[in-house]
Amino acid sequence: MTTSLKSQLLKKELSGVEGLNISDSQRDIERFSKDFFDYSPILFEQLNTCLADLIVKPSSLEAIIAVARACKKNNVPLTLRGSGTGNYGQCVPLNGGVVMLMSEFKKIRRIDPISGEVTVESGCLLRDLNNQLATKGRQLRILPSTWRSASIAGFVSGGSGGIGSVRWGFLRDPGNLLGLEIITVEDSPRKLTLDVNKSEPLNHAYGTNGIITALTLATSPLIEWQEVAIDFKDWIDAVDFMRTVSQAAIELFLCSLLQKDIIEQIPAWSGKYNGCHRLLILVASDGLTTLERLATSAGAIFNYLGPENEKQGTGLRELTWNHTTLQMRAVDTDWTYLQMLLPQPELKAMNSLSKKWRKDLLWHLEAVRQQGSQRLAALPLVKWRGKKFMDQLIHDCRDAGAIIFNPHTITVEDGGLGVIDVDQVEAKKLYDPEGILNPGKLKGWLH
C-alpha cells in the first residue's frame, strides 16, 4: 500500500482522538511541507516537490502519543514541525506521510527561582519564552535570529547557535541543554524523562530520534542590552578589532561584522551607509565606555544606538546571523550563503578566498565561543552561479582551512561536521527502532 493510502487509513483511525486537529487540505499540505530551504537553490531542486499526506496538530500529550502509535502501526513516516523556519529542509517530509505541528504544545512548566533553569514544552516560541523569563529576571542564553517566530524544540533539534553564541557557545556545548521529556515511536509509545547525558544525542538530530515534548534549559541573568555600531574604513582593522573586543573583559551578546557591500544594501537600522565596514554589537551597559575607548584608539567611528528595543523587529538582531542573508535576499534572490568556522589567522584565509571570488563572496562574520575559545565564524553571502561553482567554493574554503557547515545538504551529518555520531544512531535504535521519524535525514541510520 502506498504511503498516501496508508495516511488516509490513519486519518480515519485518528479522527476520534481528543485534542487532535487533522487536515489533508491541499493548502495545509503545501504550507506545512516547506521551510526556508529556498535559501539554497540546491535544496530547492531536491525538496520543492516533497509533500506530506496528512497534517496533524496535537494539543495534548495523549494526542501526541496517539499519533506516534498510529504512525508506527501503519508504518507511515512522521515528521515533526515547530515553526518551519529551518534552512536545511529539516522538517520537510522526504517520503510523504504525516507532518505533526507541535505549535499547540507550548506551556512553560517551571522556572526554577534559584537556578533559573526552565522547563518548557516543545512548541513554545522563543519570543514568548524569553518574555516570560524576563518577568523572573532571566533570559535565554542563545537565540537564533528567527527568535520571534521559531519554537524551542525546533531550535534545539534543528538549529545550532546564534545571538548569545559569542558568550555561551553552541547549543551542543555542555551546560546549555539540561534534560528532555520525549515520546518514543513504538507499538506502545513511552514517555521518558532523559537526563542531561541521555538528552545530548537528540540535540541537533532533526527530530529523527525521538519526539521532544519538553526541554529543560539553562538561562542567564537578564541584561538590558545596548546597541552599538562601529565603523571601519579598513577591513583588516575591523577584523582585528572584532577579535580584540570578543576577548575583552566586557559582556557581549552579539558581535557581528558586515563587509561594506552588505551594509550598503541592508536596511539602515544600524545607521546610514557611509562607505565603511560595520561591527554590530549588543553589549551590557558597563561595557560601553571600554568599547568606546577601544574603538576610538583603533581610529573607528563609535555610534551608540541606545538600549535594545526588542518590540519593533528593526534592531541589530534582525541584521545578523542568517537574517543578514534574509536582508540580502530581499534585495536580490540570487544571493545564497555558506557557513564556516574560519581558520586562524582568519585574514589570511579570507584574503585568499576574496582574491579569487571577488564580489561573488561577501564577508559576514560572527564572533563565537567554540569549545571555550573565542573564534570567528563566517556566514558569507555567495552569488549563485550554479552547483559546480558552489562545490568549487566549498573546496577552496576547506583548502584554506575553514570548517564548513554546509547549508546545501539535507542530512544531520552533512550539515554538521560530516561524520556520523554513533550516539545519535544509538538513540534512534532505542526511541524509534523502526525508523518512522523524519526518514532520510540521519545518514548513520541504515535500516
139 is an interface residue for ligand FAD by CB under 6 A: no
409 is an interface residue for ligand FAD by CB under 6 A: no
96 is an interface residue for ligand FAD by CB under 6 A: no
Tell me which of 97, 159, 287, 407 binds ligand FAD, using CB under 6 A. 159
**Binding pattern to ligand FAD, positions 228-247, x when CB under 6 A?**
--------------------
Tell me which of 58, 96, 116, 161 binds ligand FAD, using CB under 6 A. 161
28 is an interface residue for ligand FAD by CB under 6 A: no
Q: Which lies closer to ligand FAD via its Cβ, residue 33 or residue 354?
A: 33
144 is an interface residue for ligand FAD by CB under 6 A: yes
212 is an interface residue for ligand FAD by CB under 6 A: yes
Please state, in angstroms and rounded to a whole number, the distance separating the CA atoms of residues 412 and 203.
Answer: 11
Q: Do the Cβ atoms of 257 and 364 come closer than 8 Å?
A: yes
Stretch that binds ligand FAD, among 16-24, 86-94, 130-138, 246-254 (CB under 6 A): 86-94
Stretch that binds ligand FAD, among 112-120, 138-146, 343-351, 416-424 (CB under 6 A): 138-146
Residue 158 CB, shortest distance to ligand FAD, in Å, is 3
Residue 388 CB, shortest distance to ligand FAD, in Å, is 25
Please state, in angstroms and rounded to a whole number, the distance separating the CA atoms of residues 128 and 38.
Answer: 27
Tell me which of 81, 138, 148, 278 binds ligand FAD, using CB under 6 A. 81
**CB-based contacts of 360: which residues, under 8 Å, 6+ apart?**
382, 383, 385, 389
Tell me which of 17, 67, 150, 257 binds ligand FAD, using CB under 6 A. 150
| Selection from 320, 269, 381 nearest residue 147 by Cα | 320
**CB-based contacts of 391: which residues, under 8 Å, 6+ apart?**
none
- With contacts defined by CB under 6 A, how many residues of the chain interact with ligand FAD? 38
Tell me which of 58, 162, 189, 315 binds ligand FAD, using CB under 6 A. 162
Residue 289 CB, shortest distance to ligand FAD, in Å, is 29
The three three-digit cell numbers of residue 229, written as one number: 555600531
322 is an interface residue for ligand FAD by CB under 6 A: yes
323 is an interface residue for ligand FAD by CB under 6 A: yes
Q: Which lies closer to ligand FAD via its Cβ, residue 147 or residue 235?
A: 147
Please, which of residues 107-126 interact with ligand FAD by CB under 6 A?
Answer: 122
Query: Which SS3 state, helix, strand or coil, does residue 144 take?
Result: coil
| Selection from 356, 405, 359, 355 nearest residue 379 by Cα | 405
Q: Name the residue with cell 535500516.
A: 447
| Selection from 195, 200, 20, 221 nearest residue 104 by Cα | 20
**CB-based contacts of 97: which residues, under 8 Å, 6+ apart?**
3, 7, 52, 53, 54, 71, 76, 77, 78, 79
Stretch that binds ligand FAD, among 130-138, 150-158, 231-239, 258-266 (CB under 6 A): 150-158
Query: Which SS3 state, helix, strand or coil, does residue 263 take?
Result: helix
Tell me which of 160, 184, 256, 339 binds ligand FAD, using CB under 6 A. 160
Please, which of residues 36-55 interact with ligand FAD by CB under 6 A?
Answer: 36
Q: For the residues of 77-138, what is the DSSP string, one character each? A: -EEEESS---SS-TT--TT-SEEEE-TT---EEEE-TTT--EEEETT-BHHHHHHHHHTTTE
Residue nearest to ligand FAD (CB): 154
Taking phi over 0 as left and psi of -120 to 50 as alpha, with beta for the rest, 192 belongs to beta
339 is an interface residue for ligand FAD by CB under 6 A: no
Q: Name the residue with cell 552533512.
A: 414
Please state, in angstroms and rounded to a whole number, the distance separating the CA atoms of residues 366 and 442.
Answer: 28
Residues that bind ligand FAD (CB under 6 A): 35-36, 79-87, 90-91, 102, 122, 144-146, 150-151, 153-155, 157-162, 206-207, 211-212, 321-323, 326, 438
